[in-house]
A and B are shown apart, each in its own frame.
Chain A
Amino acid sequence: MSEACDRTRELAAELALGILDGEERGEALAHLSRCPGCRRHVEELSATADELTLLAPRVEPPPGFEARVLGRLPLAGARGTHRRPALRWRTAAAAVAASALAALAAWFATHADRELASRYRDTLAVADGRYFTAKPLARPSGNRVGTVFGYAGEQSWCMVLVRSYEGEPAVSDGSYAVELVRTDGRRARMGRLVVRGGSGSLGSALGFEYRELRAVRILRPDGSVLATATLH
């Protein structure tokens, strides 16, 4: 362990409890972004810190609380609920996906980190999004070939990224059909993914609700499945 590790371990408990601020917080977070060992340590402490919240007494909220919460959620077939305001949909540009992805990846890496979580929320808030997920794209053998990112919002979209992974066979260069499989079994063509030098990307808006997207599949020219990502 380095000197920076020692310093971060000293601050790890406060970070896990969410009570570290300012320079110390920035210093610890910067180290965590580079050090998987310290990140794991903070995640373990965070799990314990989170458990301490179970000690708080249960108190029934004021009457009408449940209805007020439900009234703020856009629920299917709910009584007295409202839909989100209409959204001005802009193209799902790869750059947007990439910056959102960076925030998301960092958010997952340091589970307890409120600052990054807040960036994630801000990222979603820009386009009134509900959530943003990333699922592995893998061959039937389990070998990873890429990632599918899904965004659920007023206009949902998904993006397929293929790249090479160390020790895994890369996807051969070429043009591949990409297919969306819906939860009711219907299939739709998403577009063509061009792979060059082992990597490629394809993004598209969905013409249906994101929660109806079960899987994204990359097909070989003969129609067989090269790789699948399961979203739901």
Chain B
Amino acid sequence: MWSASDEALLAGLASGDAEAAAAFVRRYQARVFGLALTMLGDRELAEEVAQEAFLRAWRHADAYDPRRSCVATWLLSITRNLAIDRLRMRRSDPVDPSEIGDRGEVLWGSGGAEGAETEVVDLRDALASLPAEQRRALLLAALFGYTAREIGAIEGAPLGTAKTRIRTALGKVRAVLTEGDA
């Protein structure tokens, strides 16, 4: 079961196969919990979100399209969306720029995801090609769910500038990654 492909485990999970479901959870729990914890900064909330992410994966397994993304990315995007929902409910306090300004940089830099999967190496390279302010804006949005308005406040930049940074950064990362695929 441990050697089964991600897709096969997901199919097993969808069909209610206990062994496949257990293997699926074991394979991805550190990633899912890690992302939830990164975004929420609270272990209890992160566990709630991580559990919910696996339930959603089970419910929506039939909608997974391998042509669009790998299983890990699909599952992590479910996790991120759930975490963003929680953040929206919780984040009523004013943002403290000094506390979070560099959070994204830490993840992007050497202290980030361990392991050297090709995708992660490619992502880091793509991010390295961005000006620091664009990189920070993109990571604050993608990994912490901050809106353009919040990023503008954190960075001390007008809303329009924050929006432009996010848009330009994501476009550039996409271009670099697509180039790598070609």
Contact = CB atoms under 8 A, between A and B. Distances in A.
A13 interface: yes
Interface in A152-211: 211
Given A48-B170, A65-B47, A59 B37 contact: yes
A81 B123 contact: no
Nearest to B164: A10
Nearest to B32: A61
Interface string A5-36: 00000101110111111000000000000000
Given A55-B143, A65-B50, A73-B21, A108 B30 contact: no
A4 B147 CA distance: 22
Interface string A48-74: 111111111111111001101110111
Give the secondary structure class of B's interface.
helix
B51 interface: yes
B25 A69 contact: yes
A78 B25 CA distance: 14
B166 A54 contact: no
Contacts of B120: 54-55
A130 B142 contact: no
Contacts of A49: 77, 142, 170
B123 A17 contact: no
B50 A56 contact: no
Interface residues of A, number: 57
A59 B141 CA distance: 21
Nearest to B53: A69
Given A70-B21, A74-B16, A54 B34 contact: no
B28 to A, nearest CB: 10
B10 interface: no
A19 B84 contact: yes
A13 B167 contact: yes
Given A73-B54, A75-B18, A132-B62, 19 more contacts: A14-B148, A20-B147, A45-B170, A48-B173, A50-B74, A51-B73, A55-B120, A57-B112, A61-B30, A61-B33, A61-B47, A65-B50, A66-B22, A68-B51, A70-B25, A72-B51, A75-B16, A121-B59, A131-B60
Interface of B: 13-18, 21-22, 25-26, 29-31, 33-35, 37-39, 43, 46-47, 50-51, 54-56, 58-63, 68-69, 72-74, 76-77, 79-81, 84-85, 88, 107-108, 112-115, 117, 119-120, 123-124, 138-139, 141-143, 145-148, 163, 166-167, 169-171, 173-174, 177
Q: Which 7 A-B residue pairs are closest in the complex by CB-CB distance?
A: A78-B18, A53-B76, A61-B33, A59-B34, A58-B30, A52-B142, A56-B35
18 contacts: A16-B170, A18-B84, A21-B88, A51-B73, A55-B139, A57-B34, A58-B114, A58-B115, A59-B33, A60-B33, A61-B29, A61-B46, A70-B18, A72-B55, A73-B21, A121-B56, A131-B14, A211-B14
Interface of A: 10, 12-14, 16-21, 43-62, 65-66, 68-70, 72-79, 81, 107-108, 111-112, 114, 117, 121, 124, 130-133, 211
